[in-house]
């Protein structure tokens, strides 16, 4: 078969490198409640990402300066295992993990009914065992399941997904490879019921139209992922 260069270009660009459609997320699995000692936990796999989350609390804040008289405080620690990435990650916090920890707490906070637990603290530990792009979003999605598993009263789940631009096209849930080669990436977290946005970051350049298309696509991705969050909780707790 002989095809013209134009046809070849069209065919080769139609699918993404891993064969996904532009609006397709990577294979996703979520399990709730897998750690014995934690009050709540979850395990998530999204493509090549493997993430474990443990939640402790709400429990009385031992440190005085943490205590709020009218509500609980949420603390998050996002951590990458040294073996989670191609090039060994130096153990301990770095700029990136401090930033992701902060935005994760901010993305989760609006869903939590913190006023029920004055002077308390909720600790969320996100351990990235293997990373393959989009770990901040996957961490937020998994943390929300672990918080629900801990019995934390919530207004809604929190669910996150990124969209971005790769080879001039707006695509959902960028892999590490696409993130590296791509032109832009916007991680988004929402409360799915009222679509309140609790995280919106932007890396790279998009026109206003592209940005709006990417935001819409990310929200659609969030709604798909939310179904899988709910199924994970149903499997553990029934209807
Ligand atoms: O993970 P996320 O996309 O939220 O954050 P990023 O800073 O955009 O990182 C993108 C990807 O780069 C991560 O998911 C990892 O797969 C990879 N990475 C790495 O290989 N080594 C690091 N020290 C940090 C990230």
Nearest CA to ligand 1 atom 11: 133
Distance of alpha carbon 127 from its chain centroid, rounded? 12
Q: Would 121 be classed as within a structural domain?
A: yes
Q: Is the pLDDT reported for residue 168 higher than 70?
A: yes
Nearest CA to ligand 1 atom 3: 134
**CATH at residue 94:** 3.30.230.70
Q: Complex ipTM, two decimals?
A: 0.98
Using a 6 Å cutoff on CB, does residue 89 contact ligand 1? yes
**What are the φ and ψ backbone dihedral angles of 39, each rounded to 5 degrees?**
-70, -30
Q: Is the pLDDT reported for residue 184 higher than 70?
A: yes
Nearest CA to ligand 1 atom 19: 85
Q: Which pLDDT score is estimated for 2? A: 80
Pocket test for ligand 1, best of 48, 133, 162, 183 (most atoms within 8 A of CB): 133
pLDDT in tens, 99-148: 999 999 999 999 999 999 999 999 999 999 999 999 999 999 999 999 99
Q: Token pair of 29, please?
A: 């699995």
Q: Would 7 be classed as within a structural domain?
A: no
Pocket test for ligand 1, best of 127, 131, 164, 188 (most atoms within 8 A of CB): 131
Tell how far the Cα of 6 is from the centroid of ligand 1, in angstroms.
34
Residue 3: Cβ-neighbour burial (10 angstroms; 0-12, 13-18, 19+): exposed
Atom of ligand 1 nearest to the CA of 187: 4
Range(s) of the domain holding residue 190 = 21-237
Please count the CA atoms within 13 angstroms of the CA of 136 that sit on its side-chain side: 26
Q: Would 35 be classed as within a structural domain?
A: yes
Do residues 163 and 173 make contact, with C-beta atoms less than 8 angstroms apart? yes
Distance of alpha carbon 52 from its chain centroid, rounded? 12
Q: Could you tell me the pLDDT band of residue 13, with boundaries at 50, 70 and 90?
A: low
Q: Is the pLDDT reported for residue 163 higher than 90?
A: yes
Q: Would 192 be classed as within a structural domain?
A: yes
Q: Which pLDDT score is estimated for 174? A: 98
Nearest CA to ligand 1 atom 16: 132
Helices marked H in 80-187: 95-108, 135-149, 176-181
Q: Is the pLDDT reported for residue 12 higher than 70?
A: no
Neighbours of 212 (CB within 10 A): 12
pLDDT in tens, 33-51: 999 999 999 999 999 999 9
CA atoms 90, 94, 96, 99: torsion sign: positive
Using a 6 Å cutoff on CB, does residue 133 contact ligand 1? yes
Q: Is the pLDDT reported for residue 15 higher than 80?
A: no
Q: Would 93 be classed as within a structural domain?
A: yes
Q: Would 10 be classed as within a structural domain?
A: no
Q: Would 1 be classed as within a structural domain?
A: no
pLDDT in tens, 189-224: 999 999 999 999 999 999 999 999 999 999 999 999
The total number of structural domains that make up the chain: 1
């Amino acid at each position: 078969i002989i095809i013209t260069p134009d046809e070849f270009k069209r065919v080769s660009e139609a699918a993404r490198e891993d064969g996904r459609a532009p609006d397709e997320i990577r294979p996703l699995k979520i399990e709730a409640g897998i750690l014995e000692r934690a009050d709540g936990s979850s395990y998530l796999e999204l493509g090549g990402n493997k993430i474990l989350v443990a939640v402790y609390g709400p429990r009385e804040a031992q440190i005085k300066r943490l205590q709020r008289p009218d509500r609980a405080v949420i603390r998050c620690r996002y951590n990458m295992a040294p073996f989670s990435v191609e090039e060994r990650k130096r153990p301990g916090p770095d700029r990136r993990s401090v930033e992701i920890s902060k935005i994760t707490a901010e993305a989760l906070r609006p869903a939590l009914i913190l006023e029920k637990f004055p002077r308390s603290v909720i600790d969320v530990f996100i351990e990235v065992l293997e990373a393959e792009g989009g770990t901040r979003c996957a961490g937020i999605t998994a943390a929300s399941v672990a918080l629900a598993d801990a019995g934390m009263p919530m207004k809604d789940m929190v669910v996150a997904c990124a969209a971005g631009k790769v080879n001039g096209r707006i695509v959902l849930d960028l892999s590490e490879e696409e993130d590296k080669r791509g032109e832009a990436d916007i991680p988004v977290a929402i409360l799915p019921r009222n679509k309140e946005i609790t995280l919106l970051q932007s890396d790279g350049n998009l026109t206003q139209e592209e940005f709006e298309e990417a935001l819409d696509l990310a929200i659609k991705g969030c709604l798909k992922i939310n179904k899988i969050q709910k199924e994970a909780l149903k499997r553990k707790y029934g209807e």
